[in-house]
Amino acid sequence: MSDSSDFLVVGGGIAGAAAAYFLSASGRVTLLEAEASVGMHATGRSAALYSEYFGGPAVRTLTTASRAFYASHGTDTTPLLRPRGVLALGSPDTADAFAQAHAAGALAERPVVELTPDEAQRLCPVLRRDAFDRVLYKPGACDIDVDAAHQLFLRGLRAGGGRVVTRAPVRESTRVGGLWHVRTGGPHEAVYAAPVLVNAAGAWADRVAQTAGVAPAGLRSTRRTAALVTLPDPPGDTGPSAWPMVTDVADTFYAKPEAGGLLLSPCDSTPVPDPARRVRADDLDVAVAVERFHAAVDLRIRGVGHAWAGLRTSVADDTPVIGEDPAAPGFFWLAGLGGYGIQTAPAVGALLAALAAGHAPPATTAPLTPALAPGRSLAAPVR
């Protein structure tokens, strides 16, 4: 006997939770999560930045389309978005990358601004003047309260009559009589059925597709390292919590204020052939992040605290895969979100829900559907 719903969503990260939230307006939703709790992988290891300057054209459109949701669903005391801003440093060696970032950022709702070195140092007093010759400021970038956003989607799902089933890894999926039947393993093996199956399993989405006899999307996972570091008392009247995030236009490091210190990353992208093996921070990657940060500032960190690594999963063109598989009726992909899943979650969730429920896509993202469709021709993006 199958447990029936109108929609099955596989994957409880923020993308799957957002899809389930929006789908709950169209029917009963069951969200299946392999782990003991949701959001343990990419969602729980995010840098928590909302940036309309990040990613290719489709990603930037999805990000812009998500701002209104995030802005309207926070509260005065716990907003989902908090202004942060980003300083992107340029040097003579990165002139082409600077020009590309400037051109792309000029199209954002809050366009990038080129600052003088003095203006940049007023925003972040520890910058070394010999570390850059030009700098872009991205004023619309914000911190995201990732946990609050994730929980908002899950509460909305439950309020709409949906449910979350944890410890439910997918073992087999078959389509019979217009319904997908999904058999799960774990301590409470069961079979769940629905006419629509949404594959939002992140790094495991190709494996979920294979359980259903669906061709994989060609997802590739890479490791991204981050570490929390403590600082000595900085110069100036403001501490690091008031600084913008600092990066470079070549994307070789970032330093983001976090928990009274800084979150550092070397922006590594190490291939992970088997995402089932838990990724861990590599000491060398942490050391590289510290070295690159030291090259950009006039202070030395006091110590490295917690370090970790997360997975970023994408396809060759670095654009999400959203929509119904052309060879599998009722099987919908919500995958390949790379490093953009948090900032685009409201828009990708609403778009997926509209497509899966047979409704017209939102006007802001409807033109993107061919560029996001499963089965499209995938080419590496031009950098």
Describe the chain by its helix, strand, coil percentages, rounded to 5.
30, 30, 40
pLDDT at 237 > cutoff 70: no
Contact between residue 52 and residue 67 where contact means Cβ atoms under 8 Å apart? yes
What is the Cα–Cα distance from 239 to 259, expressed in whole angstroms? Answer: 12
Q: Given this model, what pLDDT does residue 383 score?
A: 46
Closest CA to 148 of 200, 97, 80, 195: 80
pLDDT in tens, 32-90: 999 987 865 544 456 689 999 999 999 999 999 999 999 999 888 889 999 999 999 99
Burial class (CB in 10 A: 0-12, 13-18, 19+), 306: exposed
pLDDT at 247 > cutoff 80: yes
Q: Given this model, what pLDDT does residue 260 score?
A: 79
pLDDT in tens, 62-76: 999 999 999 999 888
Contact between residue 60 and residue 108 where contact means Cβ atoms under 8 Å apart? yes
What is the Cα–Cα distance from 81 to 74, expressed in whole angstroms? Answer: 8
Mean pLDDT of 275-282: 83
Task: Read off the pLDDT band of 235 (50, 70, 90).
Answer: low
Helix H or strand E encompassing 73:
helix 57-73
Q: What is the pTM of this model?
A: 0.93
Mean pLDDT of 94-115: 96
Domain boundaries in the chain? 3-44+146-218+317-372, 86-139+220-314
DSSP state at residue 127: B
Mean pLDDT of 127-146: 96
Task: Read off the pLDDT band of 191 (50, 70, 90).
Answer: very high
pLDDT at 298 > cutoff 70: yes
Under CATH, domain 86-139+220-314 is a member of which superfamily?
A: D-Amino Acid Oxidase, subunit A, domain 2 (3.30.9.10)
Name the CATH topology of 3-44+146-218+317-372: FAD/NAD(P)-binding domain (3.50.50)
Q: Given this model, what pLDDT does residue 45 score?
A: 52
Q: Which residues contact 313 (CB under 8 A, 6 or more apart)?
A: 42, 202, 203, 205, 219, 220, 221, 222, 275, 335, 336, 337, 338
C-alpha separations of 177 from 2, 174, 215, 297, 328 in Å: 13, 10, 21, 63, 13
What is the Cα–Cα distance from 44 to 181, expressed in whole angstroms? Answer: 29
Q: 248-252, 276-280, 325-329, 343-347: which range is least confident on average?
A: 276-280
Between 329 and 339, the more confident residue is 329
The arrangement of strands across the sheet holding 190-194 comes to 3-4, 190-194, 179-184, 170-176
Following DSSP, what letter does each residue of 310-355 receive, concatenated?
Answer: EEEEE-TTS--EEEE-TTSTTEEEEE--GGGHHHHHHHHHHHHHHH
